[in-house]
Amino acid sequence: MTHVLEISGLVKKFGGLTATDHVSLTVDTGEIHALIGPNGAGKSTLINQICGEIIPNAGHIHLAGREVTRLPPADRVALGLGRTFQITSLLDDMTVRQNLGLAVQAREGGNFHIFDRAAKRAEIWDEVGETLNDTALSPRADIAAADLSHGEKKQLELLMALSQRPRLLLLDEPMAGLGHLESQQMIDSLRAARSDCAMLLVEHDMEAVFALADRISVLVYGRVIAAGTADEIRANPAVREAYLGEEDA
Amino acid sequence: MKRENIILLVVFVLLALVPFAAEFTGQSSWTKLVGQALIYGMAAASLNFILGYGGMISFGHAAFFGVGGYVVGIMYHHFDAGTAFLGFIPGTDQMLITLPAAVLVAGLAAAVVGALSLRTGGVQFIMITLAFAQMFFFLFISLKTYGGEDGIMVRRTNALPGLDMKDKATLYWVVLGFAAAYYLFLRRLVQSSFGQIIAGIRQNERRMAAMGISTYRYKLYAFILSGMGAGLSGALMVNFLRFASPDMMHWSKSGELMVMVILGGVGTLAGPFIGAGALFTLESMLARYTEHWMLPVGILLLIVVMTSKGGLMALIRKLTGGAK
């Protein structure tokens, strides 16, 4: 089986702090790999290195078989990387439809054309219509992103990321701040999307992690202290002590 | 026809009638005043594309305005003296050559300035663009061949085949034609695929990068397009006033362009033109009473900014019931 993402020996230091300490992990085609760990474990730092916003001190990142360790973010997207942010990141002045339209346009190209009319590019708006169809956002299509509820924003961000048709989707706490019903919707959306792309899921919501993940890696103080299937992780004493135990307490 | 287009057409016709009105009332200065306001409106609109639509607060936009103007001035200087620029580029007084040359050279200047300053953001970007503009300002002051501080007199407006450019009204209509064409160009530009990317970058650069957009390249392209527009307006201004001077690129001129954009309405198509017109009208009215006309203008700017988010355009929209 090919690895969509392969991280080996990754190290990132901020002064005296080692935020990423020789991390190695893989995400396979069609897999949802969850990354869990207490606050300050270095999950976001790791995500940002995969995206290219932070350059590691040592180690390698391969995306779809190509070394991307020092590539700028946009080039990684071209190789099939998509992401959502811990704090939802949308184009606030634009409507739901326009947000999705821009995501499709960014993928489709023609972005340097100055004499066309973006609003008349049928290939974009047909696809946006299809994407919105039957989603909870459909009746909200012409509302500015800034005016959406928190849950709707999270949904829109996921749809935008999926519109890029990524091979690997990085999800930075997609459940954060969602109510029970919204979390369930998000889990359903992610489950539906798993046939399209592999995912690296950073999440605190254990229910969601155990519901979705094929494999789980546990990050504590920048190190992967355990990796395995959901059952293996649940049974792992070190994990119980370092992480799950805290939640019970 | 859409309501917006009808309004544009009416405004265009009214502006085209200005020379007749000036002659009829004996106020011959009107043509000159409105012509200048139109040219400044173009310069402000070019700044507004990166400032209002792209979120890049350039405080050195007058540099490109001045560079465009000097291209016309320098080419005329060599034409007049029968010499060649750098020893091999002959001078000319043909507008069909000088204007494209001005646009091109201003674009090159913007490419250099933009390539370096767009590596920064926020306050640093404002300061670096300002610093570059001041470098241009002092460079042209030091060029004694081209008049140094005094600038270049252009004794005759550039020639355009088939037109009598010595005629004030004809020259005004040529300017109006360019202003109208530039307005329509910008309207298309902000609606284009590129315009959407630029609007996206203004709102959330990180998200655009996460969608695979190398934001630097797009911002640089926008910066160059904007500089070219400023160059065109500078070239027109030198033709209109028959004079190019380093003052065209002084930092206070950059500030004036910014005031026009903010007064008229940031991120709107007509705003910069309205802002330029308002500033010019105020200046000429108040200058009659006091040489300290900047004070009341400053107070007015304060009121506009604090009471109406979006400048005079927002005020007009409110008064006309939300229509364009």
- pLDDT tens per residue, chain A (249 residues)? 579 999 999 999 998 889 999 999 999 998 999 999 888 888 989 999 999 999 999 999 999 989 999 999 999 999 999 999 989 999 999 999 999 999 999 999 999 999 999 999 999 999 999 999 978 899 999 999 999 999 999 999 999 999 999 999 999 999 999 999 999 999 999 999 998 999 999 998 888 999 999 999 999 889 998 899 988 888 888 887 776 555 543
Does residue B300 lie within any of the structural domains?
Answer: no
Beta partners for residue A36, in sequence order:
A218
Based on DSSP, count helices (H) and strands (E) in chain A, helices before strands: 10, 10
Min Cα distance A247 → chain B (Å) is 33
pLDDT band for position B304 (cuts 50, 70, 90):
confident
Alpha-carbon distance A138 to A100, whole Å?
Answer: 12
Going by their DSSP bridges, the two strands A32-36 and A215-220 should be labelled as parallel
pTM: 0.92
Does residue B8 lie within any of the structural domains?
Answer: no
Does residue B220 lie within any of the structural domains?
Answer: yes
pLDDT at res. A248: 47
Pair A205, A129 in one domain: no
Asked whether the beta carbons of residue B197 and residue A105 sit closer than 8 angstroms, the reply is: yes
Does residue A88 lie within any of the structural domains?
Answer: no
When scoring A95, A105, A107, A111 by the number of chain B Cβ atoms within 10 A, the one with the most, hence best to mutate, is A111
Pair A60, A12 in one domain: yes
Reported residue count of chain A is 249
Does residue B145 lie within any of the structural domains?
Answer: yes
Pair A59, A107 in one domain: no
Per residue in B27-54, pLDDT (tens digit) is 888 899 999 999 999 999 999 999 999 9
Pair A76, A170 in one domain: yes
Q: How many domains are there within chain B?
A: 1
Angle, CA of B144, B146 and B147, to the nearest 5°: 65
Per residue in B224-245, pLDDT (tens digit) is 999 999 999 999 999 999 999 9
Alpha-carbon distance A141 to A98, whole Å?
Answer: 9
Q: Final residue of a domain: which of A164, A188, A219?
A: A164
The mean per-residue pLDDT over the stretch B121-128 comes to 94
Q: Final residue of a domain: which of A112, A139, A164?
A: A164
Does residue B38 lie within any of the structural domains?
Answer: yes
Pair A171, A248 in one domain: yes
Q: Final residue of a domain: which of A114, A144, A164?
A: A164
Pair A213, A98 in one domain: no
Pair A75, A173 in one domain: yes
Asked whether the beta carbons of residue A101 and residue B206 sit closer than 8 angstroms, the reply is: no
Beta partners for residue A224, in sequence order:
A219
Instruction: Name the strand (E) or helix (H) holding A67.
Output: strand A66-67
Asked whether the beta carbons of residue B210 and residue A118 sit closer than 8 angstroms, the reply is: no
Pair A45, A154 in one domain: no
Residues from chain B contacting residue A119 (CB–CB below 8 Å):
191
Residue B232 vs residues B39, B67, B119: alpha-carbon distances, Å: 9, 10, 26
Please give the structure tokens belonging to residue B67: 């560079």
CB atoms within 10 A of CB B142: 11
The residue in chain A having the minimum alpha-carbon distance to the alpha carbon of residue B213 is A74
Alpha-carbon distance B318 to B314, whole Å?
Answer: 6
Asked whether the beta carbons of residue A94 and residue B200 sit closer than 8 angstroms, the reply is: yes
Of B197, B200, B212, the CB nearest to A164: B212
Asked whether the beta carbons of residue A114 and residue B192 sit closer than 8 angstroms, the reply is: yes
pLDDT at res. A244: 59
Pair A137, A157 in one domain: yes
Asked whether the beta carbons of residue B193 and residue A160 sit closer than 8 angstroms, the reply is: no
pLDDT at B118 over 50: yes
Per residue in B281-291, pLDDT (tens digit) is 888 888 888 88
Does residue B317 lie within any of the structural domains?
Answer: no
Of A92, A105, A164, the CB nearest to B193: A105
A82 touches chain B (CB under 8 A): yes
Residues from chain B contacting residue A118 (CB–CB below 8 Å):
191-193, 195-196
pLDDT at B305 over 70: yes
Give the domain CATH number at A220. 3.40.50.300
Nearest of B229, B214, B218, B224 to residue B114 by alpha carbon: B224
Among A residues 106-135, those touching chain B with beta carbons less than 8 Å apart = 106-107, 110-119, 121
pLDDT at res. A61: 96
Q: How many domains are there within chain A?
A: 2
Q: In a 3-state reduction of DSSP, which class is residue A229?
A: coil
Does residue B184 lie within any of the structural domains?
Answer: yes
H helix intervals, B58-94: 62-81
Asked whether the beta carbons of residue B225 and residue A105 sit closer than 8 angstroms, the reply is: no
Min Cα distance A39 → chain B (Å) is 23
What is the domain extent for residue A2?
Answer: 1-80+166-249
Treating both helix axes as pointing N-terminal to C-terminal, what angle do B168-191 and B193-203 enclose, rounded to 10 degrees?
70
A165 touches chain B (CB under 8 A): no
Of B191, B203, B206, the CB nearest to A118: B191
Does residue B21 lie within any of the structural domains?
Answer: no
pLDDT at res. A246: 52
When scoring A107, A114, A116, A170 by the number of chain B Cβ atoms within 10 A, the one with the most, hence best to mutate, is A114
Q: What are phi and psi of A6, to 5 degrees?
A: -135, 115
Percentage above 70 pLDDT, chain A? 97
Alpha-carbon distance B128 to B121, whole Å?
Answer: 10
pLDDT at res. B324: 45
Instruction: Please report, in angstroms and rounded to a whole number, the separation of the first and last CA atoms in chain A.
Output: 40
What is the domain extent for residue B222?
Answer: 29-250
Beta partners for residue A69, in sequence order:
none
